[in-house]
Structure 1
Amino acid sequence: MSLLFLLVFFTLNYHLQADLVADTCKKVDYPDLCLSTLRSNPRSKSADLKGLVHIAFDAALAKSTNTLNQIMLLLKKTNDPIVKKYLTTCASLYGDAVDYIPQAIRFVGSDNLQAKAYGGAALDDALDCEDTFTTGELGKRKSPLTASNNVVKQLVINALEIVNSLG
């Protein structure tokens, strides 16, 4: 009898967690990215809403770090002085974003306003990097970072919207 109870309990718990991820992702601007981000992380199976925020911000941090590494590689390859200047600006911005996201994570649940402030600063950094190329003071250039900037933007927006669900 107790084995049957445990089986039912764990099956029910699994479905409730799957529903938490689905319900959470329905409320964000980029639900497909939210679902793929949260479901790809094994921690989401046992996470509460606060845990899902951590996973979402962790994904944003990983993509921001990858983007910063991409920028450093592009800086070594480019010969265009304007693009080099814009990439240098983006490197500084993403350096800040990589510092801000762990701060956002640190405040989740204890001071959600601070979490949103740090997350918002990281979002601004991704947006500002893209704007550097599209409205640059030295002339417009095609951004080699558009795809990465967009993913970082979407990941951070999703994380911030999940923070809003915490109240």
Structure 2
Amino acid sequence: MKFLVYMIISLLFLSQYSNGSNLIIQSCKEASKNDPNLSYDFCVKSLKEAASKDKTQPTNLEDLVNMSINLTKSNGTNIMSKISKNLKNQSYDDYVKGCLQDCLDLYDDSLSSLDKAMVAFNKSKDLNTANVEVSAAMDDSVTCEDQFKERKEKNETSPLTEENHVYFQLNAMSLSFITMIDQHN
């Protein structure tokens, strides 16, 4: 009898995991098809890792929006920590430190935008405002990256290129899911 109960519980768990995994795969396929800035593999990997870490499986697109925005916020917080450490690096000149300080401010603003997006999405069901706020957060990572390129005489490279790219894609993922919800309504 215990074995039968264990099997039923296991099958229910696997069914839920499979459904969440299929939702991630199908949604990432559609999102990456509609947005050339979003990698399918990146989308699937990011969301599956988040679902595994949180021990929850998404059941609908709304869950994916929340997962992706929360994932982006966590990533942005980690980037801010890295920037703070980089600001203490004595090998960077004043120009790079100025850019890093600007990036710190930009990421702080972007996290505020993501908080506003979550409120708009979850409390008011205002997809337009959520879209605008996520877009603003996405633009902040681009602005951070671009300012390093402004000093052409030294061919300056950003110490945050990879982080800015990941943050951009995470925001692209959220935007794609919000757009998909809007199109399905």
Q: TM-score range by the shorter chain?
A: 0.7 to 0.9
1:72 to 2:50 alignment:
no
Tell me the residue number matched to 2:104. Answer: 91
Alignment of 1:1-167 (within 5 A): 11-28=14-31, 29-42=38-51, 44-78=56-90, 79-108=92-121, 110-136=125-151, 140-167=155-182
By how many angstroms is 1:18 displaced? 2.1
Amino acid at match of 2:157: K
Counterparts of 2:18 and 2:74, CA distance in 1: 28
Secondary structure in 1 matching 2:88: helix
Asked whether the 8 Å contact 1:44–1:51 carries over to 2, the reply is: no
TM-score of the superposition, structure 2-length normalised? 0.79
Amino acid at match of 2:127: N
Counterparts of 2:19 and 2:148, CA distance in 1: 45
By how many angstroms is 1:47 displaced? 3.1
Change (3 A) 1:135 1:58: same
Asked whether the 8 Å contact 2:58–2:64 carries over to 1, the reply is: no
Secondary structure in 2 matching 1:45: coil
Counting aligned pairs with the same residue, the percent is: 26
Amino acid at match of 2:18: H
Asked whether the 8 Å contact 1:44–1:52 carries over to 2, the reply is: no
By how many angstroms is 1:82 displaced? 0.7
By how many angstroms is 1:138 displaced? 8.8
Asked whether the 8 Å contact 2:83–2:104 carries over to 1, the reply is: yes
| Structure 2: tracts of 5 or more residues without a match | 32-37
Counterparts of 2:78 and 2:150, CA distance in 1: 24
Q: Which whole-Å deviations, capped at 9, do the CAs of 1:11-64 have from their partners, x for residues lacking one?
A: 544433222111101022221111111111235524321011111111111111
| Structure 1: tracts of 5 or more residues without a match | none
Asked whether the 8 Å contact 1:123–1:153 carries over to 2, the reply is: yes
Asked whether the 8 Å contact 1:82–1:138 carries over to 2, the reply is: no
TM-score of the superposition, structure 1-length normalised? 0.87
Counterparts of 1:151 and 1:4, CA distance in 2: 40
Cα RMSD after superposing both structures: 2.5
Amino acid at match of 2:65: V
